[in-house]
Amino acid sequence: MKKLKKLLSMLVAATMTLAMAAPSFAEMTTTSGSGTIKIDNPQKAVGENGEPTDDYVTYNVYQIFTAAYNTGTNGAVDDTYTYTISSDSDWYSVVSNYDGISLTSVTTSGNNSLYYVETNNNFSAAEFANVLKGAIDEKTIAAVLSEQNDFKATVALGYYFVSTNSGALCNLTTTNPSAVIHDKNEAPKIDKKIVTAAGSDATELNVQVGDTVNYKITGNVPDMSGYSTYTYTVKDTMSAGLTFVENSAKVTIGGVNGTVTATALPDRENGAWEVTFVIEIFNKGYDYNDPIVLTYDAVINDNAVATDPVTNTAKLIYSNNPADPEKTGETPETPKVEVYTSKIVIDKYDGANNAKLAGAQFVLQDGEGATAKYYKYTAATADETAKVEWVDNETDATVFVTDDSGAANINGLKDGTYYLKETVAPTGFNRLDGFVAVTINGQKNEAGNRTLLYTASVENNAGSMLPSTGGIGTTIFYAAGIILMAGAIFFVVRRKRA
């Protein structure tokens, strides 16, 4: 919201043009009728810190022209009107110097003259409002719209300029006695979410390397009245652990498929991606406030193996001045959405002296039973990002070998319980009998922190591990026992016969 103060200083003009035809009436009279002006979306005032306060701004109303009607030959006032301005008006010099309006003298009384007002080809409602905005200092205020009067006031029929730090034009006539103004200083807003596999919105998601994440950015069609063109561009910044999926961007506007052009700029200094989504909304027949829903995909890459979550933010760049189509504003960045993946570090050591052991080999399983699957990691290539898979056969699994510091890293894991299986022990040490279970939970704790790095300590002891039941070693023992028992029986039987 820090941009709101700046936005409130920008001009926003309604598209209502002056209904000013050159008069051809025999006699004109100023009507004594009245009308109303109301703001339908009053804005909050901005504090010194640039953030909205609890108080609303006030809107000052200035009468620029007076409505004059044809009295007709029988003296009756009809609905044919024009606008007039007197030379003693606060606004006379401003209007007379604006090249989009021509003034034709009606009467002169003393030092004051009355002029009919008529537009020409140079007239632009947005530009004219900008001129009026720049000249409001010390001008007479016809009415004040505030929270106390529900931002509505009754004024004489005529042509008005309504201003805070912005401006809007409106005309009140007998056929159009009420004007409702939408303050276009209301900055557009966007929101960003992750779409889960179940289709619900989330601000965080647990993933593994190689997963595809679907993002959704929502907004609404702004008030584009008074604009000759309109910019509506979303700029999305991804951290290095995300890779944008080309051609994945889609947009719906008011529930109908729209047009979006995505341009991705990878390989920035910090390794992140910046993606610009240009959404076409101007002169497409969309209604004010129609929902805009932008979706796109990104893949979790091997830069996501660090101990911090992968974050993502977006901001909207939008037109904010009808008189200057090139002028744009920016929304604050959306709150970060996070995807996170965890890492296991194997710590292999000698149980006798805690010395680190190199050369131990492990595989990782997602369970202990016969149906367990095995972790397989495929490194990135020029055409594909890295990915984690779970395979049925141990022979297809990735084997992790501890280095001289006794360490091996297993990256890109979702929350859950995993089982390390030692397949080869360091030379001179017993191989681990059984599994080492590691439970991962990367969800935020009460303090809002995550744990994404887990250490699996694996102790080895020196010696030769005896073969397991059914191995040749016990078979030899069994055979020797049988031979000894047979020999004993033979000697017992022979002695009895003797």
Q: What is the pLDDT of residue 111?
A: 64
Q: How far apart are CA 299 and CA 210, in angstroms?
A: 6
- Give pTM, 2 decimals: 0.71
Q: Which residue has the higher pLDDT, 154 or 5?
A: 154
Q: Which of 185, 217, 195, 449 is nearest to 333 (CA)?
A: 217
Q: What is the pLDDT of residue 54?
A: 86
What burial letters (b/e) apply to 230-248, b meaning 16+ CB within 10 Å?
Answer: bbbbbbbbbbbbbbbbeee
pLDDT tens digits along 446-470 = 898 999 999 999 999 886 554 443 3
**Most confident of the ranges 30-44, 390-404, 459-473:** 390-404
Q: What is the pLDDT of residue 53?
A: 81
Q: Which of 24, 110, 99 is nearest to 68 (CA)?
A: 24
Q: What is the pLDDT of residue 305?
A: 79
Query: Can you tell me the mean pLDDT for 302-312?
Result: 85
On the question of pLDDT at 7 being above 50, the answer is: no
Residue by residue, DSSP assigns 55-124 as EEP-EEEEEEEEEEEE--TTS---S-EEEEEETTSTTHHHHHT-TTEEEEEEEEETTEEEEEEEE-TT--
Q: What is the pLDDT of residue 72?
A: 56
Sign of CA dihedral 374, 380, 384, 387: positive
Answer for the pair 160, 66: CB distance below 8 angstroms, yes or no.
no
Q: What is the pLDDT of residue 128?
A: 87
Q: Which of 38-47, 137-146, 309-318, 381-390 shows the lowest mean pLDDT across its residues?
A: 38-47
On the question of pLDDT at 183 being above 80, the answer is: no
On the question of pLDDT at 481 being above 70, the answer is: no
Query: Can you tell me the mean pLDDT for 3-16?
Result: 36
**Most confident of the ranges 110-119, 174-183, 378-387, 473-482:** 378-387
Q: What is the pLDDT of residue 9?
A: 35
Cα 381-206-292 angle, rounded to 5 deg: 90
Q: Which residue has the higher pLDDT, 424 or 332?
A: 424
Q: What is the pLDDT of residue 202?
A: 96
pLDDT tens digits along 276-301 = 999 999 999 999 889 999 999 999 99
Mean model confidence pLDDT for the chain: 83
On the question of pLDDT at 193 being above 50, the answer is: yes
The sheet carrying 453-460 orders its strands as: 407-413, 342-350, 453-460
Q: Which of 411, 400, 405 is nearest to 347 (CA)?
A: 405
Model confidence band, residue 10 (pLDDT cutoffs 50, 70, 90): very low
On the question of pLDDT at 365 being above 60, the answer is: yes
On the question of pLDDT at 31 being above 60, the answer is: no
Model confidence band, residue 167 (pLDDT cutoffs 50, 70, 90): low
Q: What is the pLDDT of residue 429?
A: 94
pLDDT tens digits along 72-102 = 555 455 567 788 999 999 999 999 999 999 9
Q: Which residue has the higher pLDDT, 350 or 18?
A: 350
Other CB atoms within 10 A of residue 432 CB: 20
